[in-house]
Chains A and B, each alone.
Chain A
């Protein structure tokens, strides 16, 4: 074993964005690489908020680096920072485990997105935080307070439901005031006064442009208006944590774009912790400052959106996050002192590192490849070359997605054709269908995964 070898097949390594990934130049989060939700800075407050969430995200990335491995000192640090902490939370329905989270810290004041395919436990996770579900084991901490046994109303959280769940028999303002009225009733001395309620309801209505609709009933509102009422009802309590359960899925496409920006702006203005659940990876990438990818009740990866996108910890994340999905190929490995050569049908690659596995899966983002006319021979610089023929071209406006096929016969090993996609700028002349082409990917943009369990092989010189 040479010192440069990859540590492989370490489950805990792959489950997490390895701390080592901070070494790469692209990992230092520069202000320029601020998450997409930051947008252009108009106000000072906004800049502050962005800076803060950004710092949190970085702190979190290292704090949650080892899910099981993280030390007690880190635990305490998390608790002090605030935010939401799930520790050893397990939720079962009958014999089925729907949620199994050894440890998840959602940074204070972050916009965290739980994303995953349907049935992956993300909504259950949200309901566990809200208190609507009680975990079978483990603890839930919100801003440093153990709320595992606290009833939902006392947790300082509020929620926007997928169907908005507005009370159909109450007007918009009654819907929004509902929780405050209850609070006033339960706590006559410390609760909000009548004037206070009126003021806060008006504030919430103004914030979401609901003033003209105050006396309407939910049945008289459009989908977008209902969604805004749902949000207003949630924020009027000034919750420490705002939970959003697929709040955009009931809206049509145009409205969704608009509502997305509205929610991001809202988070900026409120400055509280927001947890959003979605199955839409684009929504997840574009809205969150912190991303948690889930599958089958488990967390596959947690980190900043750019981190998750650039360094997927697992082939599942690699294919789930990003569209078109990352290309993945099984390749054979031959390593020597100079590095490794990876070969498969119609493709070969050289990387300047030794790989201790006979086979790996190599992945590359469609946008990282460049399309060139077919050229025989192997380039001398390290990187990946894929030969194939163009099958389908999708024009999407600014770009075109080229679907190609590499014939398996070239390697003589497998007769299966290997499909791949590459995104090219639309101004580049598109190849003809059936044309033979070569795709080149620089070796720095290659991702290597364990072929058996799908975990990412550590970075070293490859990434």
Chain B
């Protein structure tokens, strides 16, 4: 949640801001689309025009989003100084960058570190989120509204504002360059998990919880045996969001665990810089490799994410 996919965004910088190329690419699109319905269905011309406009906007957005990624992908296959070519396609193409990234740098170690960090933060946030959300829904106590308001405020406080106190904290605890120091402070962004899970628990019919209580279930058993199974879609959605966000985190690993033994891949990409500046080819190759796990996770679970966000009810 701190700096949004810094690796990719930073890398895309030299390639030029995404908007102008998108603008240049798009003009052929709208006439093309309006031509289609105009030929066939005369009756639906107005609707066709509107549809074409919508498609144009979507196409523009898609190009804007995809361009940096594609440019980086293309660059990762370009040999040597070809990276600075305006040619969008990597011709001639080479795998040398990937070989360099994989062989001369501890990329496997970095990926493992990142996975440990992301998984740890995800588990911690889910655990804390479920318990907090459950207590918000199940128990009413003094000051609950205040606590809830504070959680909501925590959602809008920029995480960068917390970085310095957190850094000082782990420094004093001698937790720099440890996984504990890397993972635990990232629990501070669990407000989203708490609020999202709270909404989902609230959508469980109260009679269901009453039935469990009458069946003799304790609060913990109700949570474990009734609420959690029903919460599974929401849990996986939250898990994926947290996992991806943590995976892409740059600033905190850079401060908390700068050594290659503990740092994450996003921070590790900096290892590709030397005195002469970044070595762009291998850097782009490593960045592509760093993206793959996240893409895989998203593809596997994208339906669950959208499901969890779209459906608030359970039945």
A interface with B by C-beta (< 8 Å): 127, 130-132, 151-154, 157-159, 161-163, 165-169, 178-179, 182-183, 186, 219, 233, 237
Contact = CB atoms under 8 A, between A and B. Distances in A.
Given A168-B315, A219-B315, A163 B205 contact: yes
Interface stretch (B59-67, B176-184, B214-222, B269-277): B214-222
Contacts of B217: 153, 178, 182
Given A167-B226, A168-B230, A219-B315, A130 B216 contact: no
Contacts of A127: 210
A153 B213 contact: yes
B214 A152 contact: yes
Interface in B127-184: none
Given A168-B230, A169-B229, A169-B230, A182 B215 contact: yes
A153 B205 contact: no
B207 A162 contact: yes
A178 B215 contact: yes
B205 A165 contact: yes
Contacts, number: 63
A215 B213 CA distance: 24
A44 B111 CA distance: 77
A165 B210 contact: yes
B305 to A, nearest CB: 20
Contacts of B215: 153, 158, 178-179, 182, 233, 237
**Helix, strand, loop or mixed for chain B's interface?**
helix
A160 to B, nearest CB: 9
Given A132-B213, A163-B205, 19 more contacts: A132-B210, A132-B214, A151-B213, A152-B210, A152-B216, A158-B214, A159-B210, A159-B211, A161-B211, A165-B208, A165-B210, A165-B211, A167-B226, A168-B230, A168-B315, A179-B214, A182-B216, A182-B217, A233-B215
Given A162-B207, A163-B205, A168 B214 contact: no
Given A168-B230, A168-B314, A169-B229, A163 B216 contact: no
Contacts of B214: 130-132, 152-153, 157-159, 179
Which 6 A-B residue pairs are closest in the complex by CB-CB distance? A153-B216, A179-B215, A165-B207, A165-B211, A169-B229, A161-B207
Given A159-B211, A168-B314, A183 B229 contact: no
Contacts of B314: 168
A161 B216 contact: no
* Residue from B215, B230, B314 having most chain A Cβ neighbours under 10 A: B215
Interface in B229-276: 229-230
Contact of A179 (B216, B229, B230, B315): B216
